[in-house]
């Protein structure tokens, strides 16, 4: 006899419906699984037989063949064990096949018949909704995750006997309902890092606020101890809360890798990933034998922090070019082609030279000129062109270090302004699918929403000719100026917005790498346009004494 049950196989962060065909025929007792199964799937036949026997089901002594179709898609993981077991029961006429056609099934079986949690339940639920199925039957530990997808019925089962009793109508299960306002879906922020911990560096804080408002890439170059890493790790604290669609995309990635916590249903915090500089290119962008997502995709809609940027291998840095531009990474392997999303804010930090003190007043750099240029050449021009904000950090002065607690603006101050700017962008791009902030704006929308004033346009034209900026740099300056205008709440891009955006690209001006005529380091460039922007230290922060 032949029976059919449907499950799902992961392709990237999506699930493809897989039909489990179970054939039971006369012959010597034998259990075979075909259809391009990998190791764990081939071993499932042993667990399925033991689980069925320990749950009290007597199987006839026949030849059992399981085909996982389509056969050209690689099947991996233990999620096929529950549907295979149900298909074997239907083929043996121990239950009806008709109820099996209404659901997608997924679950790992223990030898005693208990259903264990699996990876990729959220993509399976999305596939059930898109395929017109009534719902999914999944392990009880994964039910809350599957319930994030609306419009389908979620059946949570603890063991194989429960699944059979529901499908036969003996003991129907109640559909799982997600609790509204559960802790996993709350807006609370778990990070204790606050921007008020950073002393001084008002210019850099303003630049990070601007980057957070529009989702722009940042590079910080400065001596050791100037706060580069400290500032970068506090950036997620000023980013706006993810929308439901953004959170769903991030959750799918973490679900595929099995990285969701036991009590975590949905990713609400924007991810922050900081891989070590010894990482491989496959570890960063994804790949390997099973084409798993890399750190770039794990930082989707969040922050990818690359500390000590020149220490990364050149081939690792160069693979970032296309993903940073397109917001996705395409991986082609012998058996499959997958696409992972990777819309990230890349924040990079580096020293100005190998010893760390080139161009730093009061410190004597021990590096020869050729070593400094060689150090900076490790970061290629095309990659640098894709970074919107490149600034120098300066050593923190003593009067900033000695400031009392409460004199530095907290993350809440910046987050409030960033949230207001992002709300203007959400309203602007509400009819543009996949565009959530200014940095993601495609070229066709640039002329519509980034219209500078005549004075601002003249300033931008002069900067392009003076610094030899590329067309990409021109567009990124306009997007950055658009974010500055959103922060200040005005519709048209003014000259101060463009001036600030130009000043945020210091590394386009290679003159700062040259030493002065006396052989010592040139003075650190000042961020001139930052003197014209809102500063919390002199405007609304700290609050006036009563």
Q: Which of 4-13, 276-285, 403-412 has the lowest mean pLDDT?
A: 403-412
Same domain, 390 and 463: no
Same domain, 395 and 308: yes
- Identify whether 68 is part of a domain: yes
> pLDDT category, 538, cuts 50, 70, 90?
very low
Q: Which of 111-115, 172-176, 404-408, 532-536 has the lowest mean pLDDT?
A: 532-536
Q: How far apart are CA 282 and CA 48, in angstroms?
A: 35
- Identify whether 366 is part of a domain: no
The predicted pLDDT at position 402 comes to 76
Q: Which residue has the higher pLDDT, 80 or 74?
A: 80
Same domain, 414 and 509: no
Same domain, 131 and 192: no
The predicted pLDDT at position 253 comes to 94
The predicted pLDDT at position 509 comes to 52
* Beta carbons of 443 and 471 less than 8 angstroms apart: no
Q: Which pTM value belongs to this model?
A: 0.86
Same domain, 196 and 260: yes
For the chain, the maximum distance between any two Cα atoms, rounded to a whole number of angstroms, is 94
> pLDDT category, 409, cuts 50, 70, 90?
confident
Same domain, 411 and 506: no
Last residue of a domain, one of 112, 134, 167: 167
Report percent pLDDT > 70 for the chain: 90
The predicted pLDDT at position 359 comes to 79
Q: Is the pLDDT of residue 182 over 50?
A: no
Q: Is the pLDDT of residue 277 over 90?
A: yes
- Identify whether 253 is part of a domain: yes
The predicted pLDDT at position 490 comes to 86
- Identify whether 217 is part of a domain: yes
79-88, 173-182, 353-362, 525-534 — which one is most confidently predicted on average? 79-88
Phi and psi at 380, nearest 5°, equal -70, 155
* Beta carbons of 277 and 312 less than 8 angstroms apart: yes
Q: Is the pLDDT of residue 462 over 60?
A: yes
Tell me: the pLDDT tens digits for 235-267?
Answer: 999 999 888 888 999 999 999 998 887 677 788
- Identify whether 335 is part of a domain: yes
Non-local (6+) Cβ contacts of 368 within 8 A are none
The predicted pLDDT at position 159 comes to 95
Domain count, the chain: 3
Same domain, 262 and 388: yes
The predicted pLDDT at position 370 comes to 87
In degrees to the nearest 10, what's the CA dihedral of 253, 261, 20, 174? -120
Q: Which of 86-100, 459-473, 523-537 has the lowest mean pLDDT?
A: 523-537
* Beta carbons of 8 and 45 less than 8 angstroms apart: no
> pLDDT category, 394, cuts 50, 70, 90?
confident
Same domain, 215 and 346: yes
401-410, 415-424, 430-439 — which one is most confidently predicted on average? 415-424
Q: How far apart are CA 156 and CA 87, in angstroms?
A: 18
- Identify whether 320 is part of a domain: yes
Dig out the tokens for 318 from the structure. 């160069």
Same domain, 265 and 400: yes
Q: Is the pLDDT of residue 532 over 80?
A: no
Residue 494 structural domain: 441-514+526-531
Tell me: the pLDDT tens digits for 17-47?
Answer: 999 999 999 988 889 999 999 888 999 999 9
Same domain, 284 and 333: yes
- Identify whether 277 is part of a domain: yes
Query: Long-range contacts: 319-327, Cβ < 8 Å, 24+?
Result: 319/281, 319/284, 319/285, 320/284, 320/285, 320/296, 320/346, 320/383, 320/386, 321/382, 321/383, 321/386, 323/285, 323/296, 324/217, 324/383, 324/386, 325/386, 327/440
The predicted pLDDT at position 180 comes to 57
Tell me: the pLDDT tens digits for 413-429?
Answer: 999 999 999 999 999 99
Same domain, 24 and 107: yes
Proportion of the chain in helix, strand, coil states, percent, rounded to 5:
40, 15, 40
* Beta carbons of 31 and 45 less than 8 angstroms apart: yes
CATH number for the domain spanning 121: value is 3.30.230.10
Instruction: Report the mean per-residue pLDDT for the chain.
Output: 86
* Beta carbons of 220 and 504 less than 8 angstroms apart: no
Q: How far apart are CA 93 and CA 200, in angstroms?
A: 75
- Identify whether 25 is part of a domain: yes
Q: Are strands 153-157 and 135-139 parallel, antiparallel or unpaired?
A: parallel
List Cα–Cα distances, 546 to 157, 409, 455, 535, 543, in angstroms. Answer: 61, 18, 42, 21, 9
Q: How far apart are CA 461 and CA 531, in angstroms?
A: 22
The predicted pLDDT at position 141 comes to 92
Q: Is the pLDDT of residue 545 over 50?
A: no
Over residues 273-294, the mean pLDDT reads 90
Q: Is the pLDDT of residue 190 over 60?
A: no
Same domain, 225 and 341: yes
Q: Is the pLDDT of residue 531 over 80?
A: no
Non-local (6+) Cβ contacts of 88 within 8 A are 3, 22, 24, 48, 52, 59, 64, 66
């Amino acid at each position: 006899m032949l029976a059919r049950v449907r499950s799902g196989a992961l392709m990237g962060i999506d699930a493809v419906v897989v039909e489990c065909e179970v054939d039971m025929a006369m012959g010597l007792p034998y259990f075979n699984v075909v259809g391009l199964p990998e190791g764990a799937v081939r071993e499932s036949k042993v667990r399925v037989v033991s689980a069925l026997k320990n749950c009290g089901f007597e199987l006839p002594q026949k030849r059992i063949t399981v085909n996982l179709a389509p056969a050209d898609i690689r099947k991996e993981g233990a999620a096929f064990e529950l549907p295979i077991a149900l298909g074997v029961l239907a083929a043996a006429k121990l239950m009806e096949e008709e109820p099996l056609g209404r659901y997608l099934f997924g679950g790992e079986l223990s030898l005693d018949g208990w259903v264990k949690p699996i990876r990729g339940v959220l993509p399976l639920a999305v596939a059930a909704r898109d395929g017109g199925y009534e719902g999914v039957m999944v392990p009880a530990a994964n039910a809350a995750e599957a319930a994030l997808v609306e419009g389908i019925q979620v059946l949570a089962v603890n063991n194989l006997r429960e699944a059979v009793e529901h499908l036969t109508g003996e003991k129907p299960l109640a559909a799982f309902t997600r609790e509204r306002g559960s802790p996993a879906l709350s807006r609370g922020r778990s990070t204790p890092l606050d921007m008020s911990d950073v002393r001084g560096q008002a210019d850099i804080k303003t630049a990070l606020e601007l980057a957070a408002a529009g989702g722009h890439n940042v590079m910080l170059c400065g001596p050791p101890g100037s706060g580069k890493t400290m500032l970068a790790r506090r950036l997620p604290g000023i980013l706006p809360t993810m929308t439901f669609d953004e959170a769903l995309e991030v959750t799918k990635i973490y679900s595929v890798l099995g990285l969701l916590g036991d009590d975590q249903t949905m990713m609400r915090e924007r991810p922050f990933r900081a891989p070590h500089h010894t990482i491989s290119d496959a570890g960063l962008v994804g790949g390997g034998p099973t084409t798993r997502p890399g750190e770039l995709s794990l930082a989707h809609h969040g922050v990818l922090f690359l500390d000590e940027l020149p220490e990364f291998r050149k081939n690792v840095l160069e693979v970032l070019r296309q993903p940073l531009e397109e917001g996705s990474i395409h991986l082609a392997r012998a058996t499959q082609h997958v696409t992972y999303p990777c819309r990230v804010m890349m924040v990079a930090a580096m020293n100005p030279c190998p010893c760390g003190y080139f161009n730093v007043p009061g410190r004597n750099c021990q590096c020869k000129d050729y070593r400094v240029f060689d150090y900076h050449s490790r970061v290629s021009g095309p990659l640098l062109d894709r970074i919107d904000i490149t600034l120098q950090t300066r050593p923190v002065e003593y009067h900033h270090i000695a400031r009392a607690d409460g004199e530095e603006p907290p993350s809440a101050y910046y987050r409030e302004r960033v949230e207001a700017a992002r709300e203007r962008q959400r309203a602007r791009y509400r009819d543009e699918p996949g565009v959530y902030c200014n940095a993601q704006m495609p070229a066709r929308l640039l002329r519509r929403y980034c219209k500078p004033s005549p004075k601002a346009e003249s300033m931008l034209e002069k900067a392009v000719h003076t610094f030899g900026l590329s067309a990409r740099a021109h567009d990124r300056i306009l997007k950055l100026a658009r974010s500055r205008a959103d922060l200040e709440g005005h519709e048209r891009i003014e000259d101060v917005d463009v001036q600030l955006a130009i000043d945020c690209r210091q590394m386009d001006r290679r003159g700062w790498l040259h030493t002065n005529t006396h052989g010592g380091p040139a003075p650190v460039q000042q961020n001139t346009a930052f003197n014209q922007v809102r500063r919390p230290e002199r405007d609304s922060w700290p609050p006036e004494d009563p």
